[in-house]
A and B are shown apart, each in its own frame.
Chain A
Amino acid sequence: MIENPRADELVDAVAKWIDSIRPGLPPRDAFLARVAANVLSVVRRELQLGPQADAAAMERLSALLGETGEVKALNALLCEKLRSGEMDAETPGLIAALKANITDQIAIDQPNYSATGS
């Protein structure tokens, strides 16, 4: 993989350019430009945090299900067990694993989202 510039640097450069032209845009486009800059922030964080989050999720789901596989397949298997009633909110370790996985996902999607009092 090319080291310089890294993918997250490229994404950052575009986000900065969008921010620089935003003040001159009509309101609707200014709003969409802000959304676009946010999209790039998600992409940047996914590039930086995604591989680690994915590996951790795989480990947690494997431990919970006693199976190995990719996160997508493990999530599908877990959903199947939840649908069939084989697993539910009482299943030991289930909520903890889901909470850890979604905490990593939120760090990518919306790091400023406050969920402490929910």
Chain B
Amino acid sequence: MEVDISEGLRALAPKLGCETVSEVQRLSAGASMETWAFVAQGAGGRQEMILRRRPGPFDEEAARSTSLATEAALITAAEKAGAPVAPLVRLCQPEDGLGEAHITARIAGETLGRKIVTDPRFEEIRPRLAGQCGKILAQIHSIPPAGISLKSADALGELDRYESLYRSFGTERPILELAFQHLRKHAPAPMPEVLLHGDFRNGNLIINETQGVAAVLDWELSHLGDPAEDLSWLCVNSWRFGMSSRPVGGFGDYQDLLDGYLEAGGVEIPLSRVRYWQALGSLKWGVMCLLMYSSYATGTTTSVERPMIGRRVSETEIDLVNLLEAGL
């Protein structure tokens, strides 16, 4: 059923604490999730907001990602823990007529990774970002997971999942093969699991020139697991946007990230554990690129993006070889 988003939002205005809704604009064209920006105007002035909604059905049991209700709970819990988020304005209810959706404030700032690592505007704040990310991750990891519906994942479980995906493509890539075997053999002893953001990387952070990290976005891959998973995903070279000499997001150093994490109450995590999970992160991204290519190869999607992303597997392979060469 086609939903008139502008109409729906206008009808919702009183519940958003405003009088009028205007400038409704579709931001992303993702098939599984829609993002809309709009302006809410009322006695409190002009407020920019974001609507995120899932146009289709959702099977929470089968999905890797969380429901938007869980996402809303995570945003609220993260805010309470002190992490910068785009605060929740409303978790939409069936009577709102917008389907599965939530509304948050719109935070000003930059999300494009390449700009964050190269634009002179961020020169002054850039050296502080890695430490801030460490602190924010410690805050997120301190969230009590009780009452939030999340799945668990550990290193061996992730290797199983991604290896069976890889096998299903019937492709023979020696570096990915070596990485699966090596990471399986060298999995670190488990640590107590914590609530993870699950996709904490340059590209999912709103950065501004004065504050640094102004908000953490995209909570849909949140799960319970090894704290090093979140710290290292930010260090995967694919999210350094060409600044590979700065391992943390293309803007900072490992030590600043780990110090920031520790100072904000996070547990001590050795660099070797981060490097292990960083390799696992590259491996996962490599398999995801193969998965996106396979949706083209099997005719499920026809967009030119899909086959092209298949050529990004080699970036993860060179990163894996470099990590293996360095003994991780």
Contact = CB atoms under 8 A, between A and B. Distances in A.
Nearest to B323: A118
Interface residues of A, number: 34
Interface in B164-197: 172-175, 177-178, 181-182, 185
Interface in A21-56: 28, 32, 35-36, 38-39, 42
Contact of B307 (A32, A39, A88, A110): A39
Contacts of B242: 112-114
B111 interface: no
A39 B308 contact: yes
Contact of A116 (B175, B182, B244): B244
B156 interface: no
A83 B244 contact: no
B29 interface: yes
B90 interface: no
Nearest to B237: A118
B319 A118 contact: yes
Interface residues of B, number: 35
By secondary structure, the B interface counts as helix
Interface stretch (B53-61, B226-234, B310-318): B310-318
Contacts of A83: 177, 181
Contacts of A114: 237, 240, 242-244
Contacts of A42: 308, 311
A105 B175 CA distance: 12
A78 B174 CA distance: 6
27 contacts: A32-B305, A35-B308, A39-B304, A75-B172, A75-B173, A76-B172, A79-B173, A82-B174, A82-B177, A83-B177, A88-B185, A89-B178, A94-B178, A98-B175, A98-B178, A99-B318, A103-B318, A106-B314, A109-B311, A109-B314, A109-B315, A110-B315, A114-B242, A115-B237, A116-B244, A117-B247, A118-B323
Given A88-B181, A88-B182, A105-B317, 11 more contacts: A32-B303, A35-B305, A82-B174, A89-B178, A94-B178, A95-B321, A115-B315, A116-B245, A117-B240, A117-B245, A118-B247
Interface of B: 29, 172-175, 177-178, 181-182, 185, 237, 240, 242-247, 303-305, 307-308, 311-312, 314-315, 317-319, 321-325
